[in-house]
Each structure stands twice: as structure tokens, then as C-alpha cells.
């Protein structure tokens, strides 16, 4: 049992409140998973720039000269902002892949949480209220985001085992459920060139979506493929640079509720996650249908 939330803003006036609204939604889901928590925030991209968000168990040592060291390694200007155990590095968009490779040599123990033009992922072991406070998520603005609070069933309680999982540029995924064929799917994806940091079944789902998108599928098509290629019980919420999507398995035993107004589209494992959103009393509220893909993009 885990808790998932998502929020896609249609009204730009709400963007300064995105972090605060997502934090409130996620905290409401705490009792669905107290082991670890994470949030992905999508900000408006700056032309020609990208972000690399990294995590370290020893941030004082790893982050002290990281921006300078990375800048020298990729021959570009790199700036960085430290947020507790995470650091957001900003760099030229065309040097993003080079930066990811350089990180392996510069800081082999640091982990890349996300990479892309707009995405930042923050996740750690602990309750949602504590994780969100550590990274000051409530102060963040953005266009959309997703969050997750976890009750571990398939793997250890660690930072890397927390959701969201990001396996592609500006892509991430959160999951409530359990996949029965993740080991066989992981083997196929590794043969196709995908890499994995954990044994978590959710990382396999994220990589499956990323691989489909890399092959040229649209978001809706990639999500539809989960219904035929992934076995088990699942509710997935997927984030991309331009939007987010939701899909449930054909049996749909994991709870899910959605709400839409002229200002936003929201997702929660339970309705109570959305009760403090503006205009929720007049929103169109529904339960996503089994084996049906829903997505919104700009």
C-alpha cells in the first residue's frame, strides 16, 4: 500500500503554489506509506539550459566543489544549489549527457535523481512532512508534479528505493502495486541498453516507459503498452516535460481518484488528498477506468 499524488496546472497563476499544494496532498497520504517519500517538480524550462539533480549520503564532501569540478570536466559553466542531501546543478542543455557520464568519475557515490530541462526530484527515507521540509518543497513553483509515499514490499527501504524513479530525460514514474514479471522485463531492457540502479519493480516500469518513448512512441502509446507487457497490479502516474499521465491495470484493485477544473487536473490515491485544492467542491471528480490511459500535455 502506497500513496500517490499528481497535479497538472492549467492556470499559470497557480504555479507559485505548486510545491505547497503537492506537499499538502502528499502529507495527507502519509498513512498509506511511512517508509520514504519523494516529489518531482517540473519548472518552466529556460532555453538552452538543463538541470541535473544529484543526491549524496555525504553532501558536505561531495558537493563542496562539485559545480566547479563538473564545469571543468564538461568544459562549460555549471552552477549549483545545495538542498540538504541533494544538489541541483544547472548547465547547458547540450552538455547534459556529458555531465551524467562525468559524474560517475567525479563523485562515484553520488546518485543522479533526475536530469532534464525542467525536472527536479527530491526523495529520502522518512515521512512526507519531513522529506518535504528538508527540501523546502512548499516554496517551489512549477507547472506540474507528482509525489509518492512508500510502504516497501518488494525491496529495501533506502533513498534509491524511494519513488519517483527517473530513467529518461524529464521523465519519472510513481507506482502503487506490485509487478510479477519485473525480472524478465528488466533483462530485456538491459539488452536494449537501459541501465538500473536498484532491484525495485517500479524502476523497471519507469525504464519500460522511457524505452518506449526512445523508440518513438507517444506518451499515450507507451502507457498503453504497460497493459500488455507488464504483469501484476498497478496504478502508474507518469511525469514528462510537457505533462503527466495515469494508467491502472485491468483489474484496478489499487485505489485512484481524479479531479479536473478549469485550473488544474489532480490525482490522488484517495479523494482526501485533494480536499484542500482550490475549487475542489465544483470539480469533476471520477475514478479512472481500468486499462484506460489518461494524459494531459501542453
Q: Known catalytic residues?
A: 2
- What's the rounded Cα separation, in Å, for the pair 234 and 122? 23
Q: Supply 166's cell numbers.
A: 527517473
**Cβ proximity of 248 and 291 under 8 Å:** yes
Burial (CB count <10 Å: 0-12, 13-18, 19+), residue 166:
buried
Q: Is the peptide bond before 164 cis (omega within 30 degrees of 0)?
A: yes
Crossing angle between the packed helical segments 66-74 and 96-106, to the nearest 10 degrees: 120
**Cβ proximity of 290 and 254 under 8 Å:** no
Cα–Cα distance list, 295 to 144, 220, 240 (Å): 13, 7, 10
**Of the candidates 164, 167, 196, 201, the residue with the CA atom closest to the CA atom of residue 181:** 201
Amino acid at each position: 500500500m502506497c500513496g500517490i499524488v499528481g497535479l497538472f496546472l492549467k492556470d499559470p497563476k497557480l504555479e507559485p503554489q505548486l510545491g505547497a499544494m503537492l506537499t499538502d496532498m502528499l502529507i495527507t497520504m502519509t498513512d498509506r506509506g511511512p517508509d520514504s517519500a519523494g516529489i518531482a517538480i517540473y519548472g518552466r524550462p529556460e532555453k538552452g539550459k538543463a538541470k541535473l539533480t544529484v543526491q549524496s549520503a555525504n553532501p558536505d564532501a561531495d558537493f563542496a566543489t562539485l559545480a566547479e569540478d563538473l564545469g571543468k570536466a564538461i568544459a562549460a559553466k555549471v552552477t549549483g544549489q545545495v538542498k540538504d542531501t541533494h544538489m541541483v546543478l544547472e548547465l547547458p542543455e547540450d552538455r547534459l549527457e556529458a555531465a551524467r557520464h562525468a559524474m560517475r568519475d567525479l563523485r562515484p557515490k553520488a546518485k543522479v535523481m533526475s536530469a532534464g530541462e525542467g525536472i527536479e526530484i527530491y526523495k529520502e527515507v522518512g515521512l512526507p512532512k519531513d522529506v518535504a521540509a528538508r527540501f523546502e518543497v512548499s516554496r517551489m513553483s512549477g507547472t506540474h508534479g507528482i509525489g509518492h509515499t512508500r510502504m516497501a514490499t518488494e525491496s529495501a527501504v533506502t533513498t534509491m528505493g524511494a519513488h519517483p524513479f527517473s530513467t529518461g530525460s524529464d521523465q519519472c514514474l510513481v507506482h502503487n502495486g506490485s509487478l510479477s514479471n519485473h525480472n524478465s522485463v528488466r533483462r530485456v531492457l538491459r539488452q536494449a541498453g537501459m541501465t538500473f540502479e536498484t532491484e525495485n519493480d517500479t524502476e523497471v516500469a519507469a525504464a519500460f516507459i522511457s524505452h518506449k518513448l526512445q523508440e518513438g512512441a507517444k506518451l499515450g502509446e507507451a502507457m498503453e503498452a504497460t497493459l500488455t507487457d507488464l504483469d501484476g497490479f498497478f496504478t502508474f502516474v507518469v511525469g514528462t516535460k510537457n505533462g503527466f499521465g495515469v494508467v491502472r491495470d485491468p483489474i484496478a484493485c489499487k485505489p485512484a481518484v481524479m479531479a479536473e477544473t478549469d485550473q488544474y487536473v489532480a490525482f490522488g490515491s484517495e479523494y482526501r488528498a485533494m480536499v484542500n485544492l482550490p475549487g475542489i467542491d465544483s470539480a469533476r471528480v471520477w475514478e479512472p477506468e481500468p486499462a484506460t490511459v489518461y494524459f494531459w500535455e501542453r
